[in-house]
Structure 1
Amino acid sequence: MKLLYFASVREAVGLSDEERDVPNEVRTVGDCIIWLAGQSVEHGAALGGQSRLRFALDHNMVTADAMLGDAQELAIFPPVTGG
């Protein structure tokens, strides 16, 4: 699966994107975030606060309980602020 990281998530992970083979037992976006957070210290720092993150699965905004299914791309965004 292609993983895309934006803004502060990208800065913390140190990558804008990467390809990962997601294990079969990782079924939802939330499962994927938990799994990714355990892959490195940097991923853990970027993804530890799952409730504040936003996600897009194959260009469609989704919540953490969305099933990964056959999706090819998961984008991970930090919270957006502004006026």
Structure 2
Amino acid sequence: MAKMRLFASAREAARTGTDVFDGATLADVLSAAEQRYGPGFSDVLSTCRVWVNGDDVGLDTALGPNDEVAVLPPVSGGCT
């Protein structure tokens, strides 16, 4: 089971900051998250960067029980 950490609008759409998912690959885990959280989450996910253990990887990346998937929406803002 891979641990997923969700940030900003992804956390709001999922209504949680962390969760765990079974899946052999990153694509499997993201698909399971979309099924669990629904279309609002899918919309947010389409704009996000997804990292595994701090690295930008492909959807075919194999995941193990100690891997962490981070879902990072685009960030805006700053000082004026």
TM-score of the superposition, structure 1-length normalised?
A: 0.67
- Greater shift, 46-55 or 6-15, is seen at 46-55
Q: Which runs of 5+ in 1 are unaligned?
A: none
* Higher-RCO chain (CA-CA 8 Å, sequence separation at least 6): 2
Matched, 1:54 2:49: yes
**% identical aligned pairs:** 29
**Other-structure match for 1:27:** 24
CA separation of 1:71 and 1:63: change in aligned 2, threshold 3 A = farther
How many residue pairs get aligned? The number is 77
**Other-structure match for 1:7:** 8
Q: Distance in 2 between matches of 1:65 and 1:81?
A: 29
C-alpha contact (below 8 Å) 1:55/1:63 kept by paired residues: no
Deviation at 1:80, TM superposition (A): 3.7
**Other-structure match for 1:73:** 68
For residue 38 of structure 1, give the secondary structure of its aligned residue in structure 2. helix
Q: CA RMSD in A?
A: 2.5
Matched, 1:40 2:41: no
The structure with the larger Rg is 2
